Amino acid sequence: MKADMPIYDTRPWEAAYGSAIARELPLPRYRNLAELAASACERYTEKKAFTAVVPNGMNGSLTYRQVGELSDAFAGYLREVCKLQAGDRVAVQLPNSLTYPVVALGVFKAGCVLVNTNPLYTASEMVHQFNDSGANVLVIVDMFADKLAEVIPKTNIQRVVLSGVSEMFPAIPNAIVRGVQKVWSQVLPPIPPLSIPVERIKTALASGKAHQSKAMGYWKDVPSSAVAALQYTGGTTGVSKGAMLTHANLMSNVDMVLAMGKSHHGSDECVLTALPLYHIFAFTANLLSFFELGGHNILIPSPRPVQNLQRAIENYPITWITGVNTLFNGLMNEEWFTAFPPKHLKAAIAGGTALHHAVAERWQKITGTRIAEGFGLTECSPVVTFNTLVGKVRSDSIGVPVPGTEVRLVNDENMPVPHGEPGELIVRGPQVMKGYWNRPEDTVSILKDGWLYTGDVAVMDADGYFKIVDRKKDLVLVSGFNVYPNEIEDALAKMDAVLEAAVVGVPDANSGEAVRAYIVKNPEFAGELTKDMVVAHCKSLLTDYKIPKSIIFRDELPKSPIGKILRKDLKAEVKAEFNK
């Protein structure tokens, strides 16, 4: 086998690093993420670390010193008040807000494990994730507290902490934002009566404050090999599973991200964080990387409509933007953005889903900076490859592997494919997860000899730049979120009127891909079956992005001789349809 693989092992991509990017990663500097955070707070003390900005421009900020103190207090609360032990899981279900970094870093400082949860999840999705992770404490945004009545009795959650979007804002703006939420937009539901303690983040921090000084004691012995976060991602089997990301995984990915951008870093970076921090891309690229760098993170609680970003972009000297194709495209359709693009901008980073060629070109024309597209996956903390910020722009490429990362393309026999031929992209490096939480079979099927099998098929060009050509797995990528057809098919099958269903992705101008469902009606069912009924049913079970955007009724679905629905035949149909 060894003789066949020199092409990837010689790392032909290193030439693209030029003089700007170090070939090797720096040696680990911190034991764990808690030390990374504590060290940054010591170095940058009075610099602003986070500013959360709501659409009307009202905002609140925390300095590095404040983040350090508050996260120490939250760690104290978790260990002394909630009586958690090192390794216990804490579910965090928050939009971007000042509470998020305080809680996330507080969880690390307590030696606990962060379970990032999408705030828009339905009750049944929450129940699955909390039970699978075994979370004991939940920090949730008060806007969705009404779901707790259904969720809490079905889980092992012992304590709930509530936080608002404008939490830690100055008093008057906080009162106004809350007043508007309550009276005007009516998005603050009453808190349902629960049998477990429920308190607001302010109270939790106040009770943890007494134990603030003990924080270092909680984390100083946490090894870098310990799990820091359970980052949930859909599964091919239809259930979402937790990727175990260790402190070392995340810290090495931070170093990789920083190495790729080093040529463009100054002493005062300001990054626009419109992507949700509970998603691994913004978590590593924005929160952790810019915290280590001493940057100022501008947190946007709700980036939709994209107009919500106007005040943030006007009022702060943004130097970096991370986003997905949809966001960049949306910004460029706004008059206020194209007339006055951020003048301090250095670069933009795209991930999550393929960046369209036209979007990248227009961005360069309007802002004078480039969008560097990267490729990653939850299981890799997430970054695997990245386009360089210097040298030639390569459109449609996912770039070159980041330093310290081995990448190969292999065929179905697990043999490296010759140069220029498509093969499954596999990754080995310090950012590769430890495995799936409590799912050894799933882990074995994706992690072999330290190599992570991404399921994406790619080709490499002569300079070592990679390009994704196809996806091996069936997942549908909607605006950067993985949608697994099985999960949607299961939900559809719960309808009495549905005999069987198959789900595939179709190209979509807005979200990259959208979900399409092929449905066969149950002949036993007497009533009518309409598209609206299907959508309404899905809405009761699934988060918005998972709901089929197009629905096609069929008399039958293509099947293999043993009766397995052939998704690949439907995909071929879709391909033919959109290539017309």
Partner 1 sequence: MLSEAETKLLGIMMMVIMLGMGASLTFRDFLIAFKKPKGVLVGLLCQYGIMPFLGYLLAVLLGMPPALAVGVILMGCMPGGTTSNIFTYFSKGALALSIMMTSVSTLVAVVAVPSLIAFYSKLAGVSGEFAIPAANVAQVLVVLLVPTVIGMILRKTNPNIGATIELVGSMLGVFVILFLIGSWVPRNYQLLMTTPWPVFFAAIGLGLFGMLLGYWLARLLKQDNNRSRTISLETGIQNGPLAVLIVTITFKGELQQQVLLIPVLYSLFIVLTSSVITLWFRKNATREALARDSAKVGAAVSA
Tell me the closest approach of the beta carbon of residue 560 to partner 1, in angstroms.
27
- State which residue, 330 or 399, has the beta carbon closest to partner 1: 330
Q: Which long-range contacts (CB under 8 A, 24 or more apart) does 119-125 make?
A: 119/93, 119/94, 119/95, 119/143, 119/144, 119/278, 120/144, 120/543, 120/544, 121/93, 121/543, 122/147, 122/540, 122/541, 122/542, 122/543, 123/147, 123/150, 123/151, 124/541, 125/240, 125/542, 125/543
Single-letter code of the amino acid located at 186: Q
Q: Among all chains, which residue has been given the structure tokens 């494990």?
A: 113
Tell me the closest approach of the beta carbon of residue 542 to partner 1, in angstroms.
17
Binding of residue 531 to partner 1 (CB under 8 A): yes
Tell me the closest approach of the beta carbon of residue 540 to partner 1, in angstroms.
19
* Binding track over 473-512 against partner 1, x by CB under 8 A: ---------------------------------x-x----
Q: Among all chains, which residue has been given the structure tokens 């008399």?
A: 555
- State which residue, 85 or 550, has the beta carbon closest to partner 1: 550
Contacts of 57 (CB under 8 A, 6+ apart): 311, 312, 315
Q: How many other C-beta atoms can be found within 10 angstroms of the C-beta atom of residue 339?
A: 8
Single-letter code of the amino acid located at 254: V
Which of 15, 469, 536, 552 is the binder for partner 1 (CB under 8 A)?
552
Which of 280, 371, 452, 514 is the binder for partner 1 (CB under 8 A)?
514
Binding of residue 445 to partner 1 (CB under 8 A): no
Binding of residue 305 to partner 1 (CB under 8 A): no
Which of 42, 470, 496, 577 is the binder for partner 1 (CB under 8 A)?
577
Binding of residue 59 to partner 1 (CB under 8 A): yes
Q: Are strands 406-410 and 400-401 parallel, antiparallel or unpaired?
A: unpaired
Q: How many residues bind partner 1 (CB under 8 A)?
A: 27
Q: Among all chains, which residue has been given the structure tokens 């009162």?
A: 175
Which of 18, 29, 42, 56 is the binder for partner 1 (CB under 8 A)?
56
Binding of residue 368 to partner 1 (CB under 8 A): no
Contact present, 119 and 97 (Cβ < 8 Å): no
Tell me the closest approach of the beta carbon of residue 363 to partner 1, in angstroms.
20
Q: How many other C-beta atoms can be found within 10 angstroms of the C-beta atom of residue 50?
A: 27
- State which residue, 153 or 170, has the beta carbon closest to partner 1: 170
Binding of residue 533 to partner 1 (CB under 8 A): no
Tell me the closest approach of the beta carbon of residue 103 to partner 1, in angstroms.
23
Which of 6, 18, 170, 266 is the binder for partner 1 (CB under 8 A)?
170
Tell me the closest approach of the beta carbon of residue 483 to partner 1, in angstroms.
16
DSSP state of 540: H
* Binding track over 232-261 against partner 1, x by CB under 8 A: ------------------------------
Binding of residue 541 to partner 1 (CB under 8 A): no
* Binding track over 308-347 against partner 1, x by CB under 8 A: ---x--xx-------------------xx--xx-------
Tell me the closest approach of the beta carbon of residue 331 to partner 1, in angstroms.
15
Tell me the closest approach of the beta carbon of residue 443 to partner 1, in angstroms.
37
Q: Which range in 27-35, 164-172, 205-213, 248-256 contacts partner 1 by CB under 8 A?
A: 164-172
Contacts of 523 (CB under 8 A, 6+ apart): 499
Q: Which of 194, 199, 91 is nearest to 142 (CA)?
A: 199
- State which residue, 99 or 310, has the beta carbon closest to partner 1: 310
SS (H, E, C) 265-330: CCCCCEEEECCCCCCHHHHHHHHHHHHHHCCEEEECCCCCCHHHHHHHHHHCCCCEEEECHHHHHH
Q: What is the DSSP string of 113-145?
A: EEEE--TT--HHHHHHHHHHHT-SEEEEEGGGG
Give the distance, in angstroms, between the CA of residue 392 and the centroid of all CA atoms in the same chain.
Answer: 28
CA 482 to CA 254: how far, in whole Å?
A: 23
Tell me the closest approach of the beta carbon of residue 274 to partner 1, in angstroms.
17
Which of 549, 554, 569, 571 is the binder for partner 1 (CB under 8 A)?
549
Could you say which residues in the range 172-211 bind partner 1, by CB under 8 A? 172-173, 176
Q: Among all chains, which residue has been given the structure tokens 């480039």?
A: 370
Phi, psi of 141 (to 5 degrees): -70, 135
Query: What's the Cα-to-Cα distance from 472 to each of 382, 385, 411, 423, 568, rounded to whole Å?
Result: 19, 18, 11, 10, 10
- State which residue, 192 or 336, has the beta carbon closest to partner 1: 336
Which of 6, 57, 391, 420 is the binder for partner 1 (CB under 8 A)?
57
Single-letter code of the amino acid located at 543: T
Q: How many other C-beta atoms can be found within 10 angstroms of the C-beta atom of residue 176?
A: 15
Contact present, 431 and 377 (Cβ < 8 Å): no
Q: Which range in 132-140, 282-290, 366-374, 546-554 contacts partner 1 by CB under 8 A?
A: 546-554
Binding of residue 391 to partner 1 (CB under 8 A): no
- State which residue, 436 or 545, has the beta carbon closest to partner 1: 545
DSSP state of 339: H
Tell me the closest approach of the beta carbon of residue 570 to partner 1, in angstroms.
15
Q: Which range in 19-27, 52-60, 119-127, 351-359 contacts partner 1 by CB under 8 A?
A: 52-60
Contacts of 52 (CB under 8 A, 6+ apart): 59, 60, 61, 96, 97, 98, 165, 166, 168, 169, 299, 300, 301
- State which residue, 343 or 392, has the beta carbon closest to partner 1: 343
- State which residue, 176 or 191, has the beta carbon closest to partner 1: 176
Single-letter code of the amino acid located at 564: K
Q: Which of 139, 146, 176 is nearest to 161 (CA)?
A: 139
Binding of residue 544 to partner 1 (CB under 8 A): no
Contact present, 469 and 436 (Cβ < 8 Å): no
Binding of residue 530 to partner 1 (CB under 8 A): no
Which of 229, 285, 426, 551 is the binder for partner 1 (CB under 8 A)?
551
Q: Which range in 217-225, 231-239, 478-486, 547-555 contacts partner 1 by CB under 8 A?
A: 547-555
Task: Please report, as ranges, the residues that interact with partner 1 according to CB under 8 A.
Answer: 53, 56-59, 169-170, 172-173, 176, 311, 314-315, 335-336, 339-340, 506, 508, 514, 531, 549-552, 577-578
